[in-house]
Amino acid sequence: MPRYRDLTHTARPSDAPRVIEPKNPLRTIDQGALEMLKVAQEQHIETVFDRFVAQQPQCGFGYKGVCCRICLAGPCRVKTEEGPGSKGICGATAYTIVSRNLVRMIAGGAASHSEHARHVLHTAHAMVEGNAPDYEIKSPEKLHKLASKLGVSILNREDQEIFKDVTEIAYEDFGRYQDRPLAFLESLLIEQRRNKFKHTNVMPRSIDGTVTELMAQTAMGVDNDPVNLIFGGIKGALSDLGGEYIGTTLSDILFGVPEPIVSESNLGVIDPKMVNIAVHGHNPVLSEMVVTAARKMIDEAKKVGAEGVNIVGICCTGNELLMREGVYLATSSASQEMAILTGALDAMVVDIQCIYPSVQQVAECFHTKIVTTEAIMKTPGAQHIAFNAETAMEDAQKLVRIAIEAYKNRDPQKISIPNERHKLVAGFSLEALTNIFSKINPNRPISVLTDAILNGQLKGVVQMAGCNNLRRPQDESHIAILKELVKNDVLVVATGCSAGAIAKAGLMSPAAVDAYAGEGLKSFLKTLENANPQLSTGLPLVFHIGSCVDNSRGIDLVMAMANELGVDVPKVPYAASAPEAMHEKAVAIGTFGVAMGLPVHVGAMPFIEGSDIVYGITTQIAHDVFGGNFIFEMEPQEAAKKILDALEYRTWKLRVHKQASEKFDTQIAQGW
Ligand code: BF8
Ligand code: SF4
């Protein structure tokens, strides 16, 4: 029965509770974390799970987004439906306060991703200037491709020279003052989206300028029109995407384009016989050096009685190293403290973002050294070693040495490592995927994917992303939604802590295909495997496409699918899901997903329910203007159903329009 309207974007979330069992501190389904939680309870070590419980119930005003404290006349809260109590002291109504708060979150997200990208850019720049001798251009192919897209000449030029021009364009993207769009972002977009963003006035011209403008726009006594505010937020989210794309592409050039690689995940990868160093945060610039240093320092580790140095990753630094180096992924955000509780972690080297301030307090119960490395991220009690691109290898060796020294102070009584580790295959950059598809169709590789959708073998593609949020047990929603999607023949690509959840549970392996994939997905993956005998391992149930900045890889894939199908993004059967969204970065990512024309499921309600107007803009007006919309749903089964409905609607419409264009020999309709 064809469905003529996609109802998902008008639906309210189900009545499922927003917080499951608020007083229960057993808030994870990760087996490794559960084992460590017992240790924490026995030893009375406080963790994030205890603090979550202690915070319940959380503030109702904050939850609805109607608390304002952006000026010293506040804090103001919207207390009543009507009268003076329904506004802040200055007269700001609920829709102004809610949208301002939301937009400031997007600005925070854009600033975070872009700061990460800026650091990679500084490193690239130092390298081309000859000031960072420990770095090199690992992928000239990626450099040439990117340079061509940016209009930089590559003919008869040295790679260093080309890269210099590319870094200059990236710097301009941060601080351009002329009225020209972000060059990196523009090079990523298909023409229809470029025009859409231009006509709706949301195309950013500089990243720093946009974030600053948003802070100014949302200051006391400035913009109070919710539509104008939200459109400002969309511009901010697009500058976030521009920053992400700079981060991903420059990291690929410096550290290599990921290719399929075998590794393992969960806390069992911490090895009692080795010096164990966790690299935690987001930025590969430092951690890549730590990996290289560790490989060179085995003898030093042996001198203190260890067999070698074992680097394990946490959060997105972990994802970056897993994708390119096959480094073990120890754990993801909500269970970061658990890595220390094993008693066998000698050092945790952190860079930026998603690092709980509590890791230092937990580390003080053990011999573990916490080392901060970036000027904008320090922790009282932790050691700080400023990391410089100029002295990268020297700095990295210092860090490894701190861990080797700490190893001597290990207390064997306190070691308790969960016996939980799972094989996985990661490393699916768009280049790697295209290469795999090209073995079936060398001229139009992406048609292998779009044809499988058009002929019904696959239902579509879903990009699973985002964090852990303890309103429901850690990882539960990621895993439940994933299982439902793959059972229904959806090809899943994953990033960030969603990829982490899937990997830790053993679902990112070829073995999981037989256990969980529907017949269509199974046969699709088998066909790819048979056409690719060069792969040393089978294909996994889920394609890991990287860290959170690598959500730009997903957008790159959507653009390729839209191009192949000859339609704008809102007709492509591609959706995104952040089942446990937490960070401001996730708010920015979700928003650019919607602007890009995708249905975006979010499983942790953002603070917008205090304003029907803002809720309506995110779920309905966004769809009218951009073709994408948020689907807010906390209950995982219900969420999976809504995501599948959104894909089904798109596939149905795409087929109808395709058939019509073939029958009447006309261009395929571009509307949605
Ligand atoms: O950038 S998924 S908790 S680790 S914010 Fe953080 Fe969220 Fe994890 Fe990576 Ni992304
Ligand atoms: Fe209150 Fe207005 Fe100040 Fe916000 S900006 S704190 S609503 S007076």
Q: Which of 539, 47, 549, 40 is nearest to 262 (CA)?
A: 539
Report yes or no on 19 lying in a domain.
no
pLDDT recorded at residue 357: 98
Q: Domain of 657? A: 428-664
Question: Would you say the CB of residue 586 lies under 6 angstroms from ligand 1?
Answer: yes
User: 385 with 478, same domain?
Assistant: no
Ligand 2, atom 7, residue with closest C-alpha: 88
d(CA 259, CA 546): 11
> What's the pLDDT tens digit per position in 548-579?
999 999 999 999 999 999 999 999 999 999 99
Q: What is the DSSP string of 267-323?
A: GGGS-TTSEEEEEEES-HHHHHHHHHHHHH-HHHHHHTT-S-EEEEEEHHHHHHHHH
Report yes or no on 481 lying in a domain.
yes
**The pairing of beta strand 542-546 with beta strand 490-495:** parallel
Q: Count the Cβ atoms, other than its own, within 10 Å of residue 235.
A: 26
Q: Kindly tell me if the per-residue pLDDT of 1 is higher than 50.
A: no
> What's the pLDDT tens digit per position in 182-199?
999 999 999 999 999 999
Whether 320 and 329 have beta carbons less than 8 Å apart is answered as: no
Question: Would you say the CB of residue 582 lies under 6 angstroms from ligand 1?
Answer: yes
Ligand 2, atom 3, residue with closest C-alpha: 71
- The total number of structural domains in the chain stands at 3
Question: Looking at residue 334, which CATH number applies to its domain?
Answer: 3.40.50.2030
Taking the CA of residue 76 as reference, the ligand 2 atom at the shortest distance is 1
Question: Would you say the CB of residue 585 lies under 6 angstroms from ligand 1?
Answer: yes
Residue with tokens 């199974």, as numbered in its chain: 522
d(CA 268, CA 380): 29
Domain boundary among 205, 229, 255: 255
User: 283 with 300, same domain?
Assistant: yes
Report yes or no on 294 lying in a domain.
yes
pTM of the model: 0.97
Residues 6+ apart with CB under 8 A from 234: 200, 202, 591, 592, 595, 626
pLDDT band at 649; cut points 50, 70, 90: very high
The DSSP call for residue 188 is H
pLDDT band at 378; cut points 50, 70, 90: very high
Report yes or no on 50 lying in a domain.
no
| C-alpha 498 to ligand 1 mean position (Å) | 9
Nearest ligand by distance to the CA of 318: 1
Question: Looking at residue 124, which CATH number applies to its domain?
Answer: 1.20.1270.30
| C-alpha 611 to ligand 2 mean position (Å) | 16
Q: Count the Cβ atoms, other than its own, within 10 Å of residue 1.
A: 4
> What's the pLDDT tens digit per position in 567-612?
999 999 999 999 999 999 999 999 999 999 999 999 999 999 999 9
Q: What are the CA-CA distances from residue 571 to residues 100, 214, 558 (Å)?
A: 31, 31, 11
d(CA 655, CA 453): 10
d(CA 202, CA 590): 16
Burial (CB count <10 Å: 0-12, 13-18, 19+), residue 375: exposed
| C-alpha 224 to ligand 1 mean position (Å) | 31
Nearest ligand by distance to the CA of 104: 2
| C-alpha 489 to ligand 1 mean position (Å) | 27
| C-alpha 316 to ligand 1 mean position (Å) | 6
Nearest ligand by distance to the CA of 282: 1
Domain boundary among 352, 379, 414: 414
Q: Which residues are annotated as a binding site for [Ni-4Fe-4S] cluster?
A: 282, 316, 354, 467, 497, 548
pLDDT recorded at residue 57: 97
Q: Which of 336, 308, 410 is nearest to 368 (CA)?
A: 410
User: 188 with 293, same domain?
Assistant: no
pLDDT band at 672; cut points 50, 70, 90: confident
**The pairing of beta strand 574-578 with beta strand 599-602:** parallel
Residue 408 main-chain phi, psi, to 5 deg: -60, -25
Ligand 1, atom 9, residue with closest C-alpha: 316
d(CA 318, CA 316): 5
> What's the pLDDT tens digit per position in 513-540?
999 999 999 999 999 999 999 999 999 9
User: 558 with 653, same domain?
Assistant: yes
d(CA 431, CA 437): 10
d(CA 427, CA 547): 11
Residues 6+ apart with CB under 8 A from 573: 453, 459, 460, 461, 647, 650, 651, 654
Whether 469 and 580 have beta carbons less than 8 Å apart is answered as: yes
E strands within 375-421? Answer: 383-384
Taking the CA of residue 75 as reference, the ligand 2 atom at the shortest distance is 6
